[in-house]
Structure 1
Amino acid sequence: MLNFLFFFFLMIMLMIIFVKNTLMFGLSMIIYTIFISLITGMYYYSFWYSYMLFLTFIGGLLIMFIYMTTLIFNNMIKFDMNIYLYINFIIIIIMFILMINYINKFNFFLNKDCQNIMNFKNEFLNITKFYNNNNFLLLLFLINYLFIVLLILMKISNINMGTLRFKK
């Protein structure tokens, strides 16, 4: 299952390079985010971390999408199927060659180098270790930084200044 997810993860990552429209880019980034959250959810004991990661990524993508739509005009989506078929064919050939030569590197649970990293169920790894006393100053800095950025963005997007498009 993980090999299947990694294959589609790589395919979507390579197809993002050839996207020319913001709507298609946003859609491919949402699919990319879903695959990232599925892969991280399979590694951890619960899907809570991947759910929070998914919500954070989607929030950031929505903000970036809003900024891009205020700057870029609405263009027609031109979907060239030949380019995507060519890219998929190249990706399938590369993945096939890599799977034949390095079959154990794609199976992370059998690879001895990655076994200590991926062995989350035997060791009790908890995300709340980030909030202990050693990392308190870093956490406080991140909270203050995000609050200051929020205040700056609110000041920049004043009602009188508004978006960059003209009102009709």
Structure 2
Amino acid sequence: MMTSMIFMMIKHPLSMMITLILYTMNICMIIGMINKTFWFSYILFLIMLGGMMILFMYMTNLTSNKILKFNLLKFMLIMVFLLMMYFTLLYLFNDMLIMYLNMNNKEMIISNMNIMKNIESSMHVNKIFNTNYNYISLLLMTYLFINLIAIVKIINIKSGPLRIKNN
């Protein structure tokens, strides 16, 4: 909530992008804690980060002459406040910590066994990669990697902006 309030006060596109990335990281961490597996939040973060990179390219072309005024003291105070608030909420709403504080040793052993069962049940993510399709998945990953390298090399050859100025 604080990052969305900070976003409303920011004027420069670069600092807006950094705020959006921090906000996305925060949401991905919360989704990962809720789902007990971080695969969905990892994919969400990668997609959002790719979108942020595209927006960053457009914004740097549009606002190349605007100077970013950065107040380090103000930034540090805001970050310390956000971290304190985040860890306070994490401590208050983490059921595992509250559960462990109110248990004796026998209940802890039973609880640890239940946690291990939950971890085993969440390990079904491995079913995504069926052994019959491992080679196809590896081929697709290699193809995407080669395309990524080719696009980077094409852009470096031009070494100019992606947007062409019409005089």
TM category, shorter = 0.3 to 0.5
More relative contact order, 1 or 2 (CA 8 Å, 6+ apart): 1
Higher helix share: 2
Per the normalisation by structure 1, the TM-score is 0.45
Give the structure-2-normalised TM-score: 0.46
The structure whose Rg is larger is 2
